[in-house]
Amino acid sequence: MSQKQWIAGINAVASAVEHDAANVREVLVEAGAKNPRLAEIEAQARRRDIDVRRVAKQAIDGVAGNLRHQGVVARYAAARTWGENELQGLVEGANGRALLLLLDGVQDPHNLGACLRSAAAAGATAVVIPKDKAVQVNATVRKTSAGAADRIPVVSVTNLSRTMRDLQKMGVWLHGLAGEAEAPFYALDLRGNVGLVLGGEGEGLRRLTRENCDSLAAIPMPGAGDGEVESLNVSVTAGVALFEAVRQRQAG
C-alpha cells in the first residue's frame, strides 16, 4: 500500500475513523449534503481530533477519482499491517478454533475486498495473502470490503508455501478448494484450527500451494454438468466455504 491514499465512501471512511483513527489524516465532507450519516462521520471524526473540512463536491470528485464517494473521503496514511511473525499469536489466541482464509494470488481488488467482507462477517481469525503476484489492500479493496479491511487482520507473507507449512506445525489443517477435486467440501470437518485455501482468478491453486494442503475438496455444483457453470468466483467460493465452517462450529 502507498504511504498516503484517499479512501472514499461512507462505510469505508466511517470504519477507518472508528477502527483506525490514528492513521486518518483528514476527512473531507461534501458541503450542503443532507445525508445524516455524513454528519455522524463528521462528528465522530471531530471527537477523535481528526481534521474535517467541508468542501465542494467537485473537490471530492477530484481526489476520489473513479471511486464512488457518497459525499465523503478521507486521507489515509497507512492501514494497520500485520507481520508474518504475528500469525502464530493470532492462531494461538483463537484457542483451537482458528479460522483462516488463505488466498493464493487474487489479482482483482474487488474480489479481495469481497473476500475480506465475508471473512469479517464469518468471524475469521485472519486472511493471509502473498506479497508478490497478488493485489494488496489498496483504496479499492478498502472500499469494496465495506470497512472489513479495518476489522480483520490481513497478513501479507513473503512465501505462501512456507507459511502454510508453519501453520501446519501450529496445528492448523489446510483444506484447498479445487473444482476438479473428488472429495466433497461439505464432508470436511471444519470445527478446529482450519485454513481454507483458495486460488486466484486465473489458474486457481498453484502447484506448490496444492502440495502443501492437507486435503483438496470441491464445492458440489449440480448445475455444472450442463457445461454452463465451470467454477465459482473466488469471492463467492470464500463466502460459501467460510459460512460452512460457521455452520459446523455453531452446530457442534
Residue ranges of the annotated binding site for S-adenosyl-L-methionine are 199, 219, 232
Q: Are 3 and 78 in contact (CB under 8 A)?
A: yes
Q: Positive or negative, the Cα torsion across 64, 136, 110, 172?
A: negative
Half-sphere exposure of 234 (CA within 13 A, CB side): 27
Residue set of the binding site: 199, 219, 232
DSSP H helical segments within 48-159, as ranges?
Answer: 57-64, 87-93, 109-121, 139-144, 148-151
Question: CA distances (Å), 59 to each of 41, 65, 88, 124, 162, in order?
Answer: 18, 10, 44, 38, 46
Distance CA 117, CA 74 (A): 20
| Cβ 154 vs Cβ 137: under 8 Å | yes
